Amino acid sequence: MRRFLSLLALSTLSFSAAEVAIPNTKVSYQVTQDPITDRNTSSIYLDENSSDTYVEFLCSKGVPVFYLHTASLLLTQDEYDQDKIPALAYRVDSQQVRVVPAALLEESEDPEDETHLRSLAVTDKNDALLLNAFRNAQTRVALRVTRSGGRELTYTFPVKGFAQALKAVKNCK
């Protein structure tokens, strides 16, 4: 299953405010609204501790939709074409590790754009699961992507400021 994400289209269709960084955290948000439907199209961003990787919760039809955007390639174009989706696991604070079904993003029409190879979403019903993981965490959420051949990438996202950002985007309502 592939989830559609077109940040360019969203940005051209939304009234937008500047991105707001929550002081002393790795969390920021941007409040946006569709100019035709008045739907909330805001985003919350959580930066990873040590890389150019971030989690985004994008407001879509009244609910936050989860995306992981990484600096590293998560799969090759051949793996993408064969729908070989990397495994995605998460851990809230020191709780038990859980696995969640990942989903691929739709490929851009721009052949130079590798977003679909560097990003993952989750299946629709799991957006709420990950939202609750980030909302209920006391300090951090760790995500592990297991790529083809068992190669793992692990990212840690501090959650301080997440509740404030969620409130600022009106819980995506």
9-30 per-position pLDDT tens digit: 344 345 557 899 999 999 999 9
Q: Is the dihedral of CA 141, 173, 44, 68 positive or negative?
A: positive
Structural domain boundaries, residue 52: 2-172
Tokens of residue 12, six digits: 């051209």
pLDDT in tens, 75-114: 999 999 999 999 999 999 999 999 999 999 999 888 889 9
pTM: 0.89
Q: Is the dihedral of CA 35, 169, 120, 19 positive or negative?
A: positive
Distances (CA, A) of 123 to 65, 126, 129, 130: 10, 6, 10, 11
Listed range (37-41, 98-102, 149-153) with the worst mean pLDDT: 149-153
Tokens of residue 29, six digits: 């948000």
Tally of domains in the chain: 1
**pLDDT at site 86:** 96
Q: Report the alpha-carbon distance of residue 108 to residue 30 in Å, rounded.
A: 23
